[in-house]
Copies of this chain bind each other. A is one copy, B any other.
Protein backbone atom coordinates (compact mmCIF):
# COMPACT_ATOMS: atom_id res chain seq x y z
CA UNK A 1 0.00 0.00 0.00
CA UNK A 2 2.80 2.34 0.93
CA UNK A 3 5.05 3.44 -1.90
CA UNK A 4 8.23 5.48 -1.84
CA UNK A 5 7.85 8.89 -3.47
CA UNK A 6 11.39 10.12 -2.78
CA UNK A 7 14.46 8.84 -0.93
CA UNK A 8 16.16 12.12 0.00
CA UNK A 9 14.29 13.12 2.04
CA UNK A 10 12.39 9.88 2.44
CA UNK A 11 8.79 10.53 1.44
CA UNK A 12 6.23 7.75 1.57
CA UNK A 13 2.88 7.79 -0.16
CA UNK A 14 0.02 6.09 1.70
CA UNK A 15 -3.71 6.01 1.11
CA UNK A 16 -6.02 6.35 4.09
CA UNK A 17 -9.68 5.48 3.97
CA UNK A 18 -12.52 6.14 6.36
CA UNK A 19 -16.19 5.22 6.09
CA UNK A 20 -18.48 7.71 7.77
CA UNK A 21 -22.01 6.98 8.96
CA UNK A 22 -23.36 10.49 9.34
CA UNK A 23 -26.68 11.13 11.08
CA UNK A 24 -28.73 14.19 10.14
CA UNK A 25 -30.35 13.90 13.56
CA UNK A 26 -33.35 16.16 13.97
CA UNK A 27 -32.85 17.79 10.57
CA UNK A 28 -33.80 14.46 8.94
CA UNK A 29 -37.24 15.76 7.97
CA UNK A 30 -35.78 18.24 5.50
CA UNK A 31 -34.36 15.43 3.39
CA UNK A 32 -37.24 12.98 3.72
CA UNK A 33 -39.74 15.73 2.77
CA UNK A 34 -37.99 16.31 -0.54
CA UNK A 35 -39.36 12.99 -1.84
CA UNK A 36 -42.86 14.46 -1.33
CA UNK A 37 -41.80 17.50 -3.32
CA UNK A 38 -41.85 19.65 -0.20
CA UNK A 39 -39.22 22.18 0.79
CA UNK A 40 -39.19 22.51 4.58
CA UNK A 41 -37.54 25.08 6.82
CA UNK A 42 -37.69 25.51 10.61
CA UNK A 43 -39.20 28.41 12.48
CA UNK A 44 -39.03 29.84 15.98
CA UNK A 45 -42.39 31.47 16.63
CA UNK A 46 -41.01 33.16 19.72
CA UNK A 47 -38.25 34.95 17.80
CA UNK A 48 -40.21 35.11 14.53
CA UNK A 49 -37.30 33.75 12.50
CA UNK A 50 -37.38 31.09 9.78
CA UNK A 51 -34.20 29.16 9.09
CA UNK A 52 -32.96 27.38 5.99
CA UNK A 53 -30.79 25.33 6.38
CA UNK A 54 -33.08 24.13 9.14
CA UNK A 55 -32.02 24.43 12.77
CA UNK A 56 -33.64 22.19 15.37
CA UNK A 57 -32.92 24.76 18.08
CA UNK A 58 -33.36 28.51 17.82
CA UNK A 59 -29.98 30.25 18.16
CA UNK A 60 -31.61 33.27 19.76
CA UNK A 61 -33.63 31.68 22.56
CA UNK A 62 -32.55 27.97 22.44
CA UNK A 63 -36.18 26.87 22.18
CA UNK A 64 -36.91 23.97 19.85
CA UNK A 65 -38.10 25.08 16.42
CA UNK A 66 -41.01 23.76 14.33
CA UNK A 67 -41.13 22.71 10.69
CA UNK A 68 -42.77 24.97 8.08
CA UNK A 69 -43.13 24.49 4.35
CA UNK A 70 -41.71 27.18 2.05
CA UNK A 71 -42.41 28.00 -1.58
CA UNK A 72 -38.86 27.80 -2.88
CA UNK A 73 -39.29 31.02 -4.86
CA UNK A 74 -36.83 33.81 -4.44
CA UNK A 75 -34.15 36.09 -5.84
CA UNK A 76 -30.41 35.98 -6.35
CA UNK A 77 -28.50 37.88 -3.68
CA UNK A 78 -25.05 37.32 -5.17
CA UNK A 79 -23.44 34.86 -7.61
CA UNK A 80 -20.16 33.41 -8.86
CA UNK A 81 -18.82 30.93 -11.40
CA UNK A 82 -16.21 28.45 -10.21
CA UNK A 83 -13.36 27.42 -12.50
CA UNK A 84 -11.45 25.52 -9.81
CA UNK A 85 -12.46 23.65 -6.66
CA UNK A 86 -11.50 21.04 -4.08
CA UNK A 87 -10.66 17.50 -5.23
CA UNK A 88 -14.18 16.17 -4.94
CA UNK A 89 -15.80 18.66 -7.35
CA UNK A 90 -13.14 19.05 -10.02
CA UNK A 91 -15.25 16.92 -12.40
CA UNK A 92 -18.17 19.42 -12.22
CA UNK A 93 -16.21 22.52 -13.28
CA UNK A 94 -17.18 25.13 -14.23
CA UNK A 95 -20.37 25.63 -12.21
CA UNK A 96 -22.36 28.46 -10.62
CA UNK A 97 -22.98 29.16 -6.95
CA UNK A 98 -25.53 31.65 -5.64
CA UNK A 99 -26.86 32.94 -2.37
CA UNK A 100 -30.63 33.22 -2.72
CA UNK A 101 -33.18 35.19 -0.75
CA UNK A 102 -36.15 32.82 -0.41
CA UNK A 103 -39.72 33.86 0.30
CA UNK A 104 -40.57 33.44 3.96
CA UNK A 105 -37.00 32.64 4.97
CA UNK A 106 -34.84 34.98 7.05
CA UNK A 107 -31.49 33.46 6.16
CA UNK A 108 -29.76 33.42 2.76
CA UNK A 109 -29.42 29.98 1.17
CA UNK A 110 -26.29 28.82 -0.65
CA UNK A 111 -26.96 26.58 -3.61
CA UNK A 112 -25.96 25.87 -7.21
CA UNK A 113 -27.60 27.81 -10.01
CA UNK A 114 -28.35 25.78 -13.11
CA UNK A 115 -28.88 27.99 -16.14
CA UNK A 116 -28.13 27.83 -19.84
CA UNK A 117 -27.27 31.48 -20.06
CA UNK A 118 -24.91 32.65 -17.35
CA UNK A 119 -24.65 36.05 -19.01
CA UNK A 120 -28.22 36.90 -18.04
CA UNK A 121 -27.60 36.23 -14.36
CA UNK A 122 -27.65 39.26 -12.13
CA UNK A 123 -28.29 40.21 -8.53
CA UNK A 124 -32.06 40.41 -7.95
CA UNK A 125 -32.97 37.89 -10.65
CA UNK A 126 -35.94 35.64 -9.81
CA UNK A 127 -35.21 31.97 -9.16
CA UNK A 128 -37.11 28.84 -8.12
CA UNK A 129 -35.66 25.94 -6.16
CA UNK A 130 -35.75 22.55 -7.89
CA UNK A 131 -35.67 19.12 -6.26
CA UNK A 132 -33.73 16.16 -7.65
CA UNK A 133 -35.69 13.01 -8.54
CA UNK A 134 -32.61 10.93 -7.83
CA UNK A 135 -31.73 11.85 -4.25
CA UNK A 136 -28.21 11.54 -2.88
CA UNK A 137 -29.45 12.72 0.54
CA UNK A 138 -27.23 15.77 0.36
CA UNK A 139 -27.89 19.49 0.16
CA UNK A 140 -27.02 19.13 -3.53
CA UNK A 141 -30.43 17.43 -3.99
CA UNK A 142 -31.88 20.92 -4.46
CA UNK A 143 -30.70 23.79 -6.63
CA UNK A 144 -31.89 27.08 -8.12
CA UNK A 145 -33.06 27.71 -11.68
CA UNK A 146 -34.14 30.99 -13.30
CA UNK A 147 -37.88 31.56 -12.73
CA UNK A 148 -39.09 33.45 -15.79
Q: Which residues on A are within 8 Å of B, measured CB to CB?
A: 2, 4-26, 28, 31-32, 136-138
Contact = CB atoms under 8 A, between A and B. Distances in A.
Given A15-B20, A16-B19, 15 more contacts: A2-B137, A2-B138, A5-B21, A9-B25, A9-B26, A10-B24, A10-B137, A11-B23, A11-B24, A12-B21, A12-B22, A13-B19, A14-B19, A15-B18, A15-B19
Given A17-B17, A137-B2, A137-B4, A28 B12 contact: no
A64 to B, nearest CB: 16
A32 to B, nearest CB: 6
Give the oligomeric copy count: 2
B22 A9 contact: no
